Structure 1
Amino acid sequence: MLFLDEAPEFGAKALDALRQPLESGQVVIARAAGVVRLPAQFLMVLAANPCPCGRHGAHGDPCDCMPSVVRRYQARLSGPLLDRVDLRVDVDRVSRSELMGRGERGDSTETVAARVLEARQRAEQRLFGTPWRTNGEVSGHALRTRWHAAAGAMHAAERELERGLLSARGLDRVLRVAWTVADLRGHDQPDAGDVEAALQLRTGVSRGVPSTAGGAR
């Protein structure tokens, strides 16, 4: 796992250098004497504030940053890099009751781990006899030609593609995440609700879809 805290503070060249290994699972170093390929399969997690002061868009807390500063800060995470990020989650400020432990608690680690293990087992059974073990490893071509969503389930994602809000790579990744959502929910194949959940996770835009209450890749 590669965790980059305050991701926009990293140099643009360093961030964009991650695009190739994220796509191929390899780092390629080319020199005059030859080419070396090194294995580099990893899960990337980026954490970022909305602006340098961290308060842009927060309720009741004024942001000290000029609009142009906010735009430059957010632009440090390039479109091609973000196109390779499958899940985008907005994290709200922790309330006083949550900080003091008086808020409602979510599922325990053990409960979520059991749910993830069951989802992984469903994926392993489906992918048995293939070069892949998890949904995150399956190629886009195989997803489109071998493991289809339910009839009509991809309509919302295809509309986003036609509107230019989703790239071809993004469409494949939505389907890949939809399979994980389906595995978590115990579905034999992704339905429209699973695809909508995958779209919401990819774009960060709420679509009124119930949470999957866990995750597996």
Structure 2
Amino acid sequence: MVAEAPEFSARVLQTLRQPLESGEVVLHRAHGAVRYPARFQLVLAANPCPCGRFHGSGAGCTCTPLERRRYLSRLSGPLLDRVDLQIGVLPVRLRSDEPGESTAEVAQRVRRARSRAAARLADSGLSVNAEAPGRWLRHHTPRSACRPVWSALDRGLVSARGADRALRVAWTLADLDDQDSPDVAHVEQALLLRRSAS
């Protein structure tokens, strides 16, 4: 079944919070609790409104402001806080003259970045940036690079969880650029990738 994220009930969406945070599902029963591993990559998609035409001037949209608000409110702040990348996408153009990278080129860059992360994290028993705990991120990210994320935290633009998630993304961006650690530009880009859907 394929559906836009806000089409699911708020209760179903909220059940994603625990596995996104801890990487496991915990089922509680009368005689105890059972834990199941649940590391996964979640991709959510949503239109700007129920009819899907509220973009640009919104001229083609038939939804009321209340309908738009109700539709998007199913994606709660606590759920979105656990989503690393939140990107607004413009309507698809059927023809583009801009050449892009081939899938093979992208795959090669991703393999190099994952190898770099695995080598760096090997001593800590981790293999990917997504597994790095907040303490490791704050200790290993250069102080000068952290300034944008601490500023965003002070201004209430990200939560503490969001700050850690932005640092993880910044490390991945640095790995994709074949750099040993993130710089200010990587951290700023990671923060932008968390907020560009709003």
Instruction: Normalising by structure 2, report the TM-score.
Output: 0.94
- Distance in 1 (CA, whole Å) between partners of 2:2 and 2:191 is 24
Residues 4-50 of structure 1 show CA distances to partners (whole Å, capped at 9, x for unaligned) of 64000001011000100111111111111221111111111001101
Q: Equivalences for 1:123-202 in 2 at 5 Å? A: 123-145=117-139, 147-148=140-141, 150-202=142-194
Contact 1:181 1:194 in 2 (8 A): yes
Instruction: Normalising by structure 1, report the TM-score.
Output: 0.86
Output the amino acid matched with 1:47: A
Contact 1:89 1:201 in 2 (8 A): yes
Output the amino acid matched with 2:101: D
Distance 1:38 1:96, change over 3 A: closer
The question of 1:119 aligning with 2:117 is answered no
- Distance in 2 (CA, whole Å) between partners of 1:46 and 1:53 is 17
SS in 2 for 1:120: helix
Match of 1:213 in 2: none
Contact 1:182 1:194 in 2 (8 A): yes
Shift of 1:59: 4.6
SS in 2 for 1:176: helix
Shift of 1:151: 3.4
Residues 47-70 of structure 1 show CA distances to partners (whole Å, capped at 9, x for unaligned) of 110100001123574211111111
- Distance in 2 (CA, whole Å) between partners of 1:133 and 1:152 is 25
Contact 1:123 1:183 in 2 (8 A): yes
Number of residue equivalences = 198
Q: Equivalences for 1:75-90 in 2 at 5 Å? A: 75-90=73-88
Equivalent residue in structure 2 for 1:58, among 56, 59, 84: 56
Contact 1:7 1:47 in 2 (8 A): yes
Distance 1:4 1:162, change over 3 A: farther
Say what the alpha-carbon RMSD is for the aligned residues. 1.7
- Distance in 2 (CA, whole Å) between partners of 1:195 and 1:119 is 17
Match of 2:20 in 1: 22
The more displaced of 61-70 and 38-47 is 61-70
Output the amino acid matched with 1:17: T
**What are structure 1's unaligned runs of at least 5 residues?**
207-217
